[in-house]
């Protein structure tokens, strides 16, 4: 088991990539804090427990600093430590610049960027005290090349890459690795409304000839969270089938 007795806190773990990561981490021996603003997180924790693992569901909104503080305190009280943080929570509210509302700008920046800041700032002191930890931030390939109709999302995810670089410098000397994963087009609920014609175009543009799966991304999280990645710090790992080369 690659994560035996490690404690992993995963945000946005109620569905999609976060759910897949939570289940995978549990199978690899981790005790998993399933954190999400949606109640489906309890189902994920229950599934882990049914399979013989240890899990705790904590309902929290990553944009609310007090909820984040309580979430982190609850996880530490239950498990005694936090070894791995996956900043996976995210939302989409796409629109071209001239149609993008202030509300949708604020929501995407708050969840996808401020949420990463809030949770990491709450967890980092615990990892510093431990002298070790792994932080994995979730960016996106669109942060590397931009994307039509995603002003807010691209800005947030580019910001996440910037935070990752800064924290790798600041926290690396404390024994904490900070890296980012940049998924491509992954088959989750987030792309459910994308027209099939667009998805087919993206498949054709991807050298591997397919869209990604949640497991593809969860495997990248697992690698960066494991001891095998102990000398990787400040990296951005694209999981996109070669879409951005």
| Catalytic center residues | 153
In the numeric block, which tokens belong to residue 82?
């936090």
CA–CA dist 133, 24 (Å, integer):
19
CA–CA dist 114, 199 (Å, integer):
29
Burial class (CB in 10 A: 0-12, 13-18, 19+), 186: buried
Give the distance, in angstroms, between the CA of residue 61 and the centroid of all CA atoms in the same chain. Answer: 14
CA–CA dist 73, 81 (Å, integer):
10
């Amino acid at each position: 088991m690659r994560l035996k007795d490690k404690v992993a806190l995963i945000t946005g773990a109620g569905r999609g990539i976060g759910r897949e990561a939570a289940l995978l981490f549990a199978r690899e021996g981790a005790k998993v804090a399933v954190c999400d603003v949606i109640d489906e997180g309890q189902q994920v924790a229950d599934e882990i427990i049914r399979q013989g693992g240890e899990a705790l569901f904590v309902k929290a909104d990553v944009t609310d600093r007090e909820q984040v503080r309580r979430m982190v305190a609850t996880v530490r009280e239950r498990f005694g430590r936090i070894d791995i943080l996956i900043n996976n929570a995210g939302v989409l509210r796409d629109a071209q610049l001239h149609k993008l509302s202030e509300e949708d700008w604020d929501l995407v920046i708050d969840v996808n960027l401020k949420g990463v800041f809030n949770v990491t700032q709450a967890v980092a002191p615990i990892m510093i005290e431990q002298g070790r930890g792994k932080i994995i931030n979730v960016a996106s390939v669109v942060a590397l090349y931009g994307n039509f109709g995603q002003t807010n999302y691209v800005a947030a995810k580019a910001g996440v890459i910037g935070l990752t670089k800064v924290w790798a410098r600041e926290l690396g000397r404390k024994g904490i690795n900070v890296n980012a994963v940049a998924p491509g087009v992954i088959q989750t609920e987030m792309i459910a409304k994308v027209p099939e014609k667009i998805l087919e175009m993206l498949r054709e543009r991807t050298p591997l000839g397919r869209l990604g799966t949640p497991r593809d991304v969860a495997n990248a999280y697992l690698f960066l969270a494991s001891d095998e990645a102990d000398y990787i710090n400040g990296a951005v790992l694209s999981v996109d089938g070669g879409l951005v080369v």
